[in-house]
Structure 1
């Protein structure tokens, strides 16, 4: 089975992925002004996530019909998030790389400053369970960096171009900044379920993961125009990664057990 076949099968099974999830939510962020949109979503496929349609007042379905563990976000004073809510930013990246003291999170007035550029650890180049986890950790850092800066080069380097949802997601990150907007938050970590590191006949690894997303916010002209509610999904997604010529490649994500 080729990478193209794997991605096509994943699309049929889910439509959107965890990594894509983060993107999905980001993609509407260039919409009009007014009250900020709050999104509570759990769908499936891409990078954190491909794209799912998410509304400010409903929780999106993830694959096989079960819904997100997050609470739908009503608008106005009943919102579960206060108006001044901001995503939790890391002091240490998923790989263990320290965030410098001069890092400044994004605010209404300016994008994030002094954002540390992720460095791939040597372990992330090994075809082992620890190496696969180190790779997913690096990928999480690269995605966070792209959301914080609008520079998607690192996350694209470790993602298969066959993952159309991923590419669409990264394009949306680019557009946020090219349109004069910026984002904060966006850290999403995927932890491999222990003892699941088994190579498939097609040469890839389809790994069940726990996904934790710390939320995201997008700013325009001194206003918040989009907010993604944090979520923690322990049994929702699998990620498919491929080891080839000494390095890992992220291919897609899908609902648990669908691949």
Structure 2
């Protein structure tokens, strides 16, 4: 069981560092070891009982179960509670610039929701089956939460430039973006692992989407360049 948990954690670390983008390097991914001390996020407690595993203790952000409807972000005590689920916007599934923008924002909102909850049911429907890296990221994220772990931070904002929108034909479009990714802490097996995403916004991203059968899908999101690399 310990080996399976460690394998899951390492896989999750790799995918979280990738943040779902097609060409991000993985060589600098930190690998936790039993002998290394766990990092902690700003404001996160470093005193976590080794015996307080997900299987033995139910974790609540803020140290207690939140009342129904009260949103609490994730912290060192537990995952986010009562996270509002994004609502599909009207006018999204039309082949217009406005429809595409609504779709991209909805996809990103669902991704942020999944980061906080592990619920990837709806977002998997918005990604083309060829974009395996993103789909594997969702699967790994779901497994983190199912195994008793959770994520602090890691949410993302997309800034895109309409002047960099191009049509590739047959309902396929590309648009230039930057992803502003929040720093992330992965809590798993009573340990915290911190990831600094502060430089990620300097990556130029080519986001490709496609309109087919009256709905949009994300095809890929590739890093074009890194100005701070």
Q: TM-score, normalization: structure 1?
A: 0.61
Question: Which position in structure 1 is the counterpart of 2:64?
Answer: none
- Is structure 2 residue 177 aligned with structure 1 residue 204? no
Note closer, same or farther for the CA distance 1:105–1:220 as it changes in structure 2 (3 Å cut). Answer: same
Question: Which position in structure 2 is the counterpart of 1:30?
Answer: 9
Please say if residues 148 and 184 of structure 1, whose CA atoms lie closer than 8 Å, have aligned partners that are also in contact. Answer: yes
Of residues 210, 214, 221, the one that matches 1:242 is 210
Please say if residues 143 and 186 of structure 1, whose CA atoms lie closer than 8 Å, have aligned partners that are also in contact. Answer: no
Of residues 142, 145, 158, the one that matches 1:174 is 142
Which entry has the higher C-alpha Rg, 1 or 2? 2
Please say if residues 48 and 188 of structure 1, whose CA atoms lie closer than 8 Å, have aligned partners that are also in contact. Answer: no
Q: Deviations over 1:174-195 (max 9, x none)?
A: 1211222111222112222122
Take 2:72 and 2:206, find their aligned partners in 1: how far apart are those partners?
33
Question: Which position in structure 1 is the counterpart of 2:70?
Answer: 102
Q: Deviations over 1:17-52 (max 9, x none)?
A: xxxxxxxxxx98724xxxxx9xx96x6xx8457764
Question: In structure 1, the residue corresponding to 2:81 is in which secondary structure?
Answer: coil
Unaligned runs of 5+ in 1: 1-26, 32-36, 58-74, 87-99
Question: In structure 2, the residue corresponding to 1:151 is in which secondary structure?
Answer: coil
Of residues 100, 125, 132, the one that matches 2:93 is 125
Give the aligned length. 192
Unaligned runs of 5+ in 2: 1-5, 31-35, 46-67
Q: TM-score, normalization: structure 2?
A: 0.69
Question: In structure 2, the residue corresponding to 1:243 is in which secondary structure?
Answer: strand
Q: CA RMSD in A?
A: 3.7
Greater relative CO (CA pairs within 8 A, separation 6+) = 1
**Where do 1:202-241 residues align within 5 Å?**
202-234=170-202, 236-241=204-209
Of residues 116, 132, 146, the one that matches 1:148 is 116
**Where do 1:75-94 residues align within 5 Å?**
83-84=42-43
Runs of 4+ aligned structure 1 residues displaced above 3 Å come to 46-52
